[in-house]
Structure 1
Amino acid sequence: MKIAIPYENGKVNPHFGQSREFVIFETDGKEIKGQKVIDGRSFCHNHEGLAGTLKAEGVEVVIAGGIGYGMVGALRGAGLKVVSGASGDARMVAEDYLNGTLVADGSVCGCGGHEHGHGHFHHR
């Protein structure tokens, strides 16, 4: 399974739509076997394009912090599972997901990329 996370300085980017990069973790069972970072700047306002790219990369699960309804719909429409409301170190978040211990509040925002607090849970 592959897990994609909006990425900023090793952490989950709390604003999905502002993510310049996405890290994709390749997993085997409960272990991370590899990772790669893709440039997401060209997709920041093209929901279907990003969803299609992640799907083409073999991603099955997207873990995010704050994410808008439009993006959630596009990702789910591409057949991807979406987990929102996560934060902290991206690798630890992916490991916690694999182990069934991820704490995420399911936050979906209609903020359209504006900066303001969302009350997301923090990881470690």
Structure 2
Amino acid sequence: MPRPVRSRRICDEPKYQCFSPCEKKTSDIVILTLDEYEVIRLVDYEKMTHEQCAKQMDISRTTVTEIYESAREKIADAIINGRSFKIEGGNYRFCDGTARCCKKDCRFRIDGADVFADVKKKGDHQMRIAVTYENGEIFQHFGHTPQLKVYDVDNGKIVESQVVDTTESGHGALAGVLSRLEADVLICGGIGGGARAALAQIGVKLYGGVSGDADTAVEALLDEKLEYDPNVQCSHHAHEEGHNCGNHSSCGENHHGCSGN
């Protein structure tokens, strides 16, 4: 029986995910996975050794070497043969800020201090509901919510709530925030496909397409009366015409305007 493949810990998704030769249009795309991207970022850009990279990604050094060789082969193929390449997919999980091997400040640590140190721990038998939040209302764009309001529920009743600054935008960053906050459920407005996948990966149950007062929505959820859209998609994330990967105009496209953010 084959051994299960260990997921690779990555810091965040790249800001730019689609690259294409400017000299021609092409639909021939090389897929670089996010864990392959992370190895390239850490080894070639951050100048880590394979051993340091392995520690940060929570995998073995030999696995880093295998991923690194695969990634470089794909990048060489794209450059030499004029193929587009896109960064997506892979076997990964977002860092939740608890990786002490990382010596740099990140969205979870500023000047070495844990930005969520004041957030109360969830009780052993409690459910934690997070809501995208601004001025008492459900914020309508998951990837850019300035805050999350977090509700702790015990025996079907809200026993505690607190508002948490998200510190950063993007669905990868926010998935890490939700993981760090130990959220079980997310209530939000619009959300892209990539974000839905990220939430599923960390085991957060999603109730999307919800608007209005945040407190009222949580009470409705607990009363099993919440109206939500299980198929919600954020229209913000659709590629505009002429901006698909492989089109001349997409060279270096910023991911904050791409699907899934």
User: Which range, TM-score by smaller chain?
Assistant: 0.7 to 0.9
Contact 1:6–1:13 at 8 Å: present in 2 too? yes
Which letter maps to 2:139?
Answer: N
Give me the whole-angstrom Cα distance separating, in 2, the residues matched to 1:32 and 1:111. 33
Shift of 1:18: 2.1
Where does residue 70 of structure 1 map in the other structure?
A: 194
Residues 7-22 of structure 1 aligned to structure 2 (within 5 Å): 7-22=133-148
- Are 2:233 and 1:96 aligned? no
Aligned length: 111
- Are 2:160 and 1:34 aligned? yes
Which letter maps to 1:55?
Answer: S
More strand by share: 1
* Structure with higher RCO (Cα < 8 A, 6+ apart): 1
Name the % identity: 36
- Are 2:226 and 1:108 aligned? no
- Are 2:128 and 1:2 aligned? yes
TM-superposition CA deviations, 1:48-105 (whole Å, max 9, x none): 3321221221210011111111111111111111110111110110111111000112
Q: TM-score, normalised by structure 1?
A: 0.82
Q: TM-score, normalised by structure 2?
A: 0.40
Query: Where in structure 1 do 4 or more consecutive aligned residues deviate above 6 Å?
Result: none
Give me the whole-angstrom Cα distance separating, in 1, the residues matched to 2:216 and 2:195. 24
Where 1:111 maps in the other structure, the secondary structure is helix
Which letter maps to 2:157?
Answer: E
- Are 2:187 and 1:59 aligned? no
- Gaps (5+ residues) in structure 1? 114-124
- Over aligned residue pairs, what C-alpha RMSD do you find? 1.6
Work out which of the two has the higher radius of gyration on C-alpha atoms and give 1 or 2.
Answer: 2
Where 1:67 maps in the other structure, the secondary structure is coil
Where does residue 48 of structure 1 map in the other structure?
A: 172
